[in-house]
């Protein structure tokens, strides 16, 4: 069975030390102070940050996104092979990060020693995906062209350089308008040199880096302000009610590195650690029946839905329970896991119409854990600070002023095809509404899930072009812990009576819980 119950988080006592060394000044300036060095600094210096022109990470086409019609009988085998593709990229990235000296002396090293062997492995795995589909009576698409990966240069600033922190984010409004003009989320780069450095914060130069952060006070408002509890309904027309479910903040420490939606039956299928609230039976091997019979942390026991997201860590050099495990420190996810102070889960309506009930066991993923490699087509990250939630960041982490907390907001797809609880690429069966609230392609409006997570995290400090004690969402190694890779997952396991109550509350304009 997959791992569900994990040991307690390591102590957060050192957060007080970090907080005292990272005081934010009014107007967004930062007071930098010396901070203890990362526990992993000595070893990780061997994997120094890339210099200009070097390959920073590996970009591979996402095979899973191209799978549109996988027969039920092939899905388990295909999921296992997709997980193998992820594992191969992770192993190649590890080799990339550990051979910087060889790369510096041989311009063809990455192509010959890393990307060439990776292509051969991916070709064989993609062939097995096709075999699985054909054996189950399906028609396998031509995926051969997806085997080739390429080296990707990502800005990894050297010590001493000031940081240009302009951010061309997107106005995501209430999580439904995915287009719109880019927003200038900039602010002057901050060169706060002259202070002691902490190396790579124990992350083996796996990120994030200083350029991944922006002072939230320097960001221009780009989103309608939230209501009193930080989450928004969809206006004053259509279905205007709300339903809030209280499911806790994962105080019981339910963690695993599985992903039941993307990689059912695959141990460590996510390659990063998730927080879970709601359903307590969620691991890679859980059936729908298992979920239906599991316990729940939700106050309303009719809600056995599973709500899960990658943990947020403070890269403080401290070892967590998973410091040496796959999906944790062994795959670049390091530092103290932060428990959310608040986890607000709300369902809201549609701007134009009533909503219909979600089918039981409907699966929705919002955001893209591989958005650095895949591009932002499926990205849906939204980060901010309390008191500044009219300023949402899509590809930067916020530096919050003193007294303000970090906020992660997930606004899910709220149009459903009316038939399927999942799809081969886990996206085609649901969609975002258009700006006017309408659903395209005959899809039906369902309650929109909104999740807002609030964290009490010390503000990171930029010194001499390097970030000290950054926050980072867990993710695949090759994605370098970029903020744009933040994502969130949901499986509906509400009983029929409760789901009908949710729909009735929303369609009649009530505020229920």
Note the pLDDT tens digit of each residue in 81-129: 999 999 999 999 999 989 999 999 999 999 999 999 999 999 999 999 9
SS3 499: helix
Note the pLDDT tens digit of each residue in 69-84: 899 899 999 999 999 9
User: Of residues 63 and 169, which shows the higher confidence score?
Assistant: 63
Q: Which of 9, 493, 78, 489 is nearest to 270 (CA)?
A: 489
Q: Which residues pair with 169 in a beta bridge?
A: 183
Check if the beta carbon of residue 234 is closer than 8 Å to that of residue 437: yes
Task: Output the pLDDT for position 145.
Answer: 92
Tokens encoding 152: 């990707």
Give yes or no for residue 175 having a pLDDT over 60.
no
User: Of residues 487 and 194, which shows the higher confidence score?
Assistant: 487
SS3 356: coil
Note the pLDDT tens digit of each residue in 406-449: 999 999 999 999 999 999 999 999 999 998 999 999 999 999 99
Q: Tokens 């879970």 label which residue?
A: 276
Q: What is the pLDDT confidence band of residue 203, given thresholds at 50, 70 and 90?
A: confident
Task: Output the pLDDT for position 174.
Answer: 43
Task: Output the pLDDT for position 125.
Answer: 97
Buried-state track 363-380, b at ≥16 Cβ within 10 A, e below 16: bbbbbbbbbbbbeeebbb
Tokens encoding 459: 């503000």
Sort residue 53 into left (φ over 0), alpha (ψ -120 to 50) or beta: left
Give yes or no for residue 473 having a pLDDT over 70.
yes
For the ranges 50-54, 89-93, 277-281, 382-386, the lowest mean pLDDT is seen at: 50-54
Distances (CA, A) of 51 to 47, 56, 198, 220: 12, 9, 18, 32
For the ranges 135-144, 149-158, 475-484, the lowest mean pLDDT is seen at: 149-158
Q: Which of 457, 452, 203, 473 is nearest to 312 (CA)?
A: 473
Checking DSSP bridges between strand 242-245 and strand 511-512, what pairing results, if any?
parallel
Q: What is the pLDDT confidence band of residue 153, given thresholds at 50, 70 and 90?
A: confident
Q: Which residues pair with 398 in a beta bridge?
A: 214
Tokens encoding 182: 């880019």
Q: State the chain's maximal CA–CA distance in angstroms.
A: 68
Task: Output the pLDDT for position 21.
Answer: 32
Note the pLDDT tens digit of each residue in 228-262: 444 455 556 789 999 999 999 999 999 999 999 99
Q: Which residues pair with 491 in a beta bridge?
A: 306, 363
Check if the beta carbon of residue 471 is closer than 8 Å to that of residue 314: yes
Q: Residue 501 CB: number of other CB atoms within 10 A?
A: 17
* Cα atoms in the 13 Å half-sphere on the side-chain side of 5: 3
Task: Output the pLDDT for position 40.
Answer: 34
Q: What is the mean pLDDT of residues 183-188?
A: 39
Task: Output the pLDDT for position 166.
Answer: 40
Check if the beta carbon of residue 483 is closer than 8 Å to that of residue 397: yes
Task: Output the pLDDT for position 235.
Answer: 56
Check if the beta carbon of residue 275 is closer than 8 Å to that of residue 408: no
Q: Which of 30, 33, 14 is nearest to 401 (CA)?
A: 30
Q: Residue 268 CB: number of other CB atoms within 10 A?
A: 24
How would you list the strands of the sheet with 312-314, edge to edge? 336-338, 312-314, 471-473
Checking DSSP bridges between strand 242-245 and strand 213-215, what pairing results, if any?
unpaired
User: Of residues 255 and 164, which shows the higher confidence score?
Assistant: 255
Give the whole-number percent of the chain exceeding pLDDT 90: 71
Task: Output the pLDDT for position 227.
Answer: 52
Give yes or no for residue 159 having a pLDDT over 80.
no
Give a three-class secondary structure readout of 73-87: HHHHHHHHHHHHHHH
SS3 337: strand
Whole-angstrom distance, CA of residue 172 vs CA of residue 191? 30
Q: What is the pLDDT confidence band of residue 226, given thresholds at 50, 70 and 90?
A: low
| Cα-based torsion angle of the residue sequence 294, 299, 301, 306 in order, rounded to the nearest 10 degrees | -40
Check if the beta carbon of residue 49 is closer than 8 Å to that of residue 205: yes
Whole-angstrom distance, CA of residue 179 vs CA of residue 217? 24
Average pLDDT, the chain: 83
User: Of residues 63 and 18, which shows the higher confidence score?
Assistant: 63
Whole-angstrom distance, CA of residue 267 vs CA of residue 399? 35
Q: Tokens 């940050």 label which residue?
A: 49
Q: What is the mean pLDDT of residues 56-73?
A: 91
Q: What is the mean pLDDT of residues 157-177?
A: 40
Q: Which of 278, 280, 238, 298 is nearest to 513 (CA)?
A: 298
Q: What is the pLDDT confidence band of residue 392, given thresholds at 50, 70 and 90?
A: very high
Q: What is the pLDDT confidence band of residue 155, given thresholds at 50, 70 and 90?
A: low
Q: What is the mean pLDDT of residues 280-308?
A: 97
């Amino acid at each position: 069975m997959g791992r569900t119950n994990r040991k307690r988080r390591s102590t957060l006592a050192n957060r007080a030390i970090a907080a005292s060394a990272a005081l934010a000044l009014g107007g967004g300036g930062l007071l930098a102070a010396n901070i203890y060095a990362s526990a992993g600094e000595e070893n990780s210096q061997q994997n120094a940050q890339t210099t200009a022109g070097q390959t920073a990470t590996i970009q591979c086409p996402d095979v899973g996104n191209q799978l549109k019609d996988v027969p039920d009988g092939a899905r388990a085998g295909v999921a296992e092979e997709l997980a193998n593709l992820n594992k191969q990229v992770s192993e190649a990235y590890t080799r990339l990060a550990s051979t910087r000296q060889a790369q510096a002396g041989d311009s063809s090293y990455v192509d010959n020693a890393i990307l060439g062997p990776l292509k051969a492995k991916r070709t064989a795995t993609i062939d097995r995906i096709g075999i699985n589909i054909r054996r189950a009576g399906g028609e396998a698409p031509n995926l051969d062209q997806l085997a080739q990966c390429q080296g990707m240069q990502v800005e990894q600033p050297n010590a001493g350089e000031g940081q240009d922190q302009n951010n061309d984010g997107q106005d995501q409004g209430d999580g439904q308008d995915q287009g719109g003009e880019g927003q200038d989320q900039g602010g002057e780069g901050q060169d706060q040199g002259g202070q002691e450095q902490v190396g790579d914060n124990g992350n083996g130069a796996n990120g994030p880096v200083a350029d991944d952060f922006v002072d939230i006070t320097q960001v221009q408002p780009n989103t309608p302000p939230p209501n009193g509890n930080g989450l928004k309904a969809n206006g004053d027309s259509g279905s205007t009610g709300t339903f809030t479910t209280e499911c806790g903040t994962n105080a019981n420490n339910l963690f695993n590195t599985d992903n039941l939606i993307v990689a059912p039956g695959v141990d460590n299928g996510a390659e990063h650690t998730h927080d879970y609230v709601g359903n307590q039976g969620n691991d890679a091997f859980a059936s729908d029946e298992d979920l239906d019979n599991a316990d729940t942390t939700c106050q309303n026991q009719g809600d056995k839905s599973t709500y899960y997201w990658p943990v947020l860590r403070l890269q403080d050099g401290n070892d967590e329970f998973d410091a040496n495990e796959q999906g944790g420190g062994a795959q670049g996810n390091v530092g103290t896991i932060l428990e959310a102070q608040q986890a607000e889960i709300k369902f809201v309506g549609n701007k134009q119409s009533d909503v219909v009930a979600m089918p039981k066991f409907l699966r929705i993923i919002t955001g893209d854990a591989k958005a650095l490699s895949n591009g932002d087509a499926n990205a849906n990250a939204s980060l901010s600070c309390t008191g500044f939630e009219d300023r949402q960041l899509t590809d930067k982490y916020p530096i919050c002023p003193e007294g303000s907390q970090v906020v992660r907001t997930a606004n899910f797809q709220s149009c459903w095809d009316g038939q399927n609880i999942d799809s081969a690429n886990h996206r085609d069966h649901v969609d975002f509404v258009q700006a006017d609230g309408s659903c395209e392609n005959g899809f039906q409006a369902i309650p929109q899930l909104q999740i807002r997570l609030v964290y009490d995290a010390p503000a990171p400090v930029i010194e001499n072009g390097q970030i000290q004690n950054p926050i980072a969402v867990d993710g695949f190694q090759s994605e370098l812990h970029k903020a744009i890779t933040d994502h969130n997952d949901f499986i509906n396991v509400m009983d029929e009576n409760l789901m009908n109550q949710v729909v009735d509350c929303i369609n009649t304009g009530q505020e229920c819980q």
